[in-house]
Each structure stands twice: as C-alpha cells, then as structure tokens.
Structure 1
Amino acid sequence: MLRYKPGLATFAALPDDPEPQDWHDAAALAGPGQVLYLVGQDPELPPGWTGVSHSRGVQLVADRPVARYDEEVRVLGFQDALEILALVEETKPGPFLPRSLQYARYFGFRVHGELVAVAGLRMRPEGFAEVSTVCTLPEYRGRGLARRLVMHLCRLVAQQGATPFLHAKADQEAVLRLYGSLGFEHRADLVFRQIAAPRELSAYPLGGGEAS
C-alpha cells in the first residue's frame, strides 16, 4: 500500500485485490480515523473502515488543447497557501493540502487583491501533465476565469512538450462542456472514493510505504 506523506496529499493506492495485511498497512499509514483518497479503485471495505464519499468520475485528455498565454494569471506560492485552502474549502474542486505546493504548481486570478480563481498542474506521468484544482468563487463565476486558467496551463504544458489531462465528476455537465470546448476528450470512466481508517488500530507492523 502506498500514500503520499501526511500534509502533502491524501491520495493513496491499494493492490487490485487487497489482502487483510494490505488493509492493516493502509490503516497504519493513514492513522486512526484519517481519510485516504482513492482514484479508480473501489474495493469492498473490511470491518472498521468507513466510506466518506463515493462518486463517478471521468478522465479527459487533450491531444490538441486550446492553449493561450494569459498575462493576468498569477503564479501562486506558499505565501498563498491559506487563501488557496479557503477557496478550495468553499468550492470543493478536489483535494488540496498546504504542502501540495511542494509537488505541484498553482496559478490564479486576483481581483482587488482577493484570490478568486485557482488552477494547478499536479501529477506528471511521463509525457503528460494533470490540470487540477480548477475552482472559482461563486460570485465570480460566469466571467471566463476558469477557461482562461485552463488555457494558460495548457500553454505551459504544450511548451514542455507534454499532453494535458484532468479529472472531473461525471455529473458536472457544465464543467464537462467547458473542458470539451477546450479540446479535452473522454479517455476513461473512474470512481473517486474517500475512505476513513479505523479509529482504533491494533498493534501491527507498518508494512506499506510512502510516496514522497
């Protein structure tokens, strides 16, 4: 079982057919009652584990994205972490933790100094780059800020010779239309699942590993 270090990301992965020891390892890595985020895996939970959320999703890839540099987009850093957290908490685009800035790059728009829209480049498998955490404050939606951010990120990805991809919930019709208009096409159906470890852990050795 693998997971990112606490505070960095909640993403985790289990074997395709997890055995009891795999669940023991997962609980030890997560910590009592802590949540792990699974993408594309939907295992039956053993006793003690609880489901937190479960939704259908899609993976989209853009071989020929609509890409455009935007001079008003601002690069975000650790000094912006609390504002990004507040925006993510209000809009719920997906997981973001303060240390996510160690492995991902984030960009945004400010209006009168207030951070009102954010998007990031996160996972980077060979030849690809993931557009993630696309979100806009409700009162600033409808102004094309998310579209401009995604086009800007696609431009950065294209400059690296990579292909952008992203994930979205399958029932977000307006979001899927936006991505479709920017050149993203369906690649795969997925399940997004958050699961919580048992609150009381038995004494067993740590058998998993962390992804740094």
Structure 2
Amino acid sequence: MSVNLDVVALDDPVGESLRGRHAHLARGVGRAATYLPDVSTFASVSADPGPADWDDLVRLLGRGEFADMFNCPATPPSHWEPVFVLEGRQMIWPEDALPGHAGEETDAGVVELGADSGPEMLDLISRTKPGPFWSRTHELGTYLGIRDEGGLVAMAGERLRPPGWTEISAVCTAPEARGRGHAARLVGALVTRITARGERPFLHVAEANTGAIALYERLGFVTRRPVTFRGFRTP
C-alpha cells in the first residue's frame, strides 16, 4: 500500500481539495475558489494572495456575502468585516498506525448513507450541531451512520480531500443515543476505509470541545498543529 506522507497539503486543505479531488464540486474566479452552493461554504485563495486575488473572491461570492475561510493560511485585507473566530486544532492519524481501525473491533450496525438519507442526515445535524453541513455536503465523500429502531442516531463522514489525505467530519450522535460508543465505531470504520485505499485520515476540532479531543486521542489521533477558523463578510 502506497501512502502519500506529504503533510504540507494539510496547511491549506480547502484549497488543495478544491484544486484537486473536489474540482468537480468547485467554482472559481482567477485564483479564488469555493464550493458549489449547498455543498460547502468553504472558500480559498492562493497561498500568497495579492489584492487581485481577494477582489476575485469578492466577485465569486458577491458583495456583502459570507466568506468562510476555514483555516486558510492567508487572512483577508483589514477592511473585510470579521464574522467569527474559533480556535481549534488539526489532528492526524499517525503514519506508524497504518493500516488501522482506530482500536475498534467491529462495524456492527454501521451503514452507508446515500443521497436518499439526506433529510434524516440534515435532521440529525440540526439536533446535534457538529459544524457546517448543507443539503449537498454528503457529495464530498462517504458518510456512515448508525440507526436505532429505523431512525438515524449517529453519523460521521468524509469532507476535505487534499492529496493523500481524507478528513473525517460531521461526527455526531443524537442526545438520546450518547454513551453507547457510536462515535468511536463510526470513526473507526472511516479510518479503516481511508487507510485501506492508501490515504491517511485527519480531522479538525474546536479547542473548546475537550470531550471530542479526548475521544480522538483515545482512538489514536495525534495533534499536528493548532488552527484558527475564521469567517468574514466581503466588502
């Protein structure tokens, strides 16, 4: 199994995804790019943007619109209105742990979620609020779930896809189903799938979410670096 170990791609995972494996879900102007509507709000500019690149992003998004820069290494000009700032961390699956199953021994009860599961995925997201998720976000990769008495009670899936890597995201469990190990089982199943195709898993988590950080560390993930998530309003 060949694994791309270039961690530099993780410095700008949105841009690397939009220019690569998610190009079919992207729209762009010049060196500015973002996802199609209802897929994701994440946007990117070049690694060394000049005024023209930020102007291109304004043309792409529109004036007075939300620019979700995620953990873009560059920050917009000072006259762009800040919308939010959130401290977090980027965590990766260790190279020496490949291949792996994140310590879980079974995928019992884990099912793959297709487009027909969209409404119940959105319902679970609305009740648990793990992060941004829209009606077409499931097109970014594979999403897995666990059902109880026919209802979706937990899910997790693949989001950003920089070269050699796949991000695990939207990890969430309904309040009434917590404490049963669903999140660990789903993350473990995704780790197995990702490593089996010669890639390494990574993820992002808010620094304040200490419970999630503890879970990911227990499963085997390690912190690569701190990140700052930012959103702005275009001028």
TM-score by length of 1: 0.83
Structure 2 match to 1:169: 206
Distance 2:109 2:144 in 1: 10
2:188 corresponds to which letter in structure 1? Answer: M
CA contact (8 A) 1:8 1:100 kept: yes
Provide the secondary structure at the position in 1 that maps to 2:136.
helix
Structure 2 match to 1:75: 112
Q: Cα deviation per residue 1:152-200 (whole Å; 9 max; x = unaligned)? A: 11111122122211110112111111000000001011111122334xx
| Greater Cα shift, 4-13 or 85-94 | 85-94
Matched, 1:43 2:78: no
Q: Cα deviation per residue 1:92-144 (whole Å; 9 max; x = unaligned)? A: 21222222222211111111222111100222233322111101112222221
**For 1:139, which of 176, 185, 196 is the aligned residue?**
176
Matched, 1:10 2:29: no
Distance 1:148 1:177 in 2: 15
Consecutive unaligned residues of structure 1, counting only runs of 5 or more, are: 199-212
Distance 2:200 2:52 in 1: 37
**For 1:91, which of 128, 132, 139 is the aligned residue?**
128
Matched, 1:104 2:141: yes
| Bigger RCO of structures 1 and 2 (CA < 8 A, at least 6 apart) | 1
Structure 1 match to 2:29: none
CA contact (8 A) 1:31 1:197 kept: yes
Distance 2:82 2:139 in 1: 28
Percent of residue pairs identical: 38
1:145 corresponds to which letter in structure 2? Answer: H
Change (3 A) 1:79 1:196: farther
Change (3 A) 1:128 1:23: closer
Structure number with the higher helix fraction is 2
Give RMSD over aligned pairs.
Answer: 2.0
CA contact (8 A) 2:167 2:203 kept: yes
Matched, 1:123 2:160: yes
Provide the secondary structure at the position in 1 that maps to 2:52.
helix
2:216 corresponds to which letter in structure 1? Answer: Y
CA contact (8 A) 1:70 1:148 kept: yes
Distance 2:150 2:62 in 1: 38
Change (3 A) 1:32 1:142: farther
TM-fit CA distance, 1:60: 0.6
Aligned residue pairs, count:
197
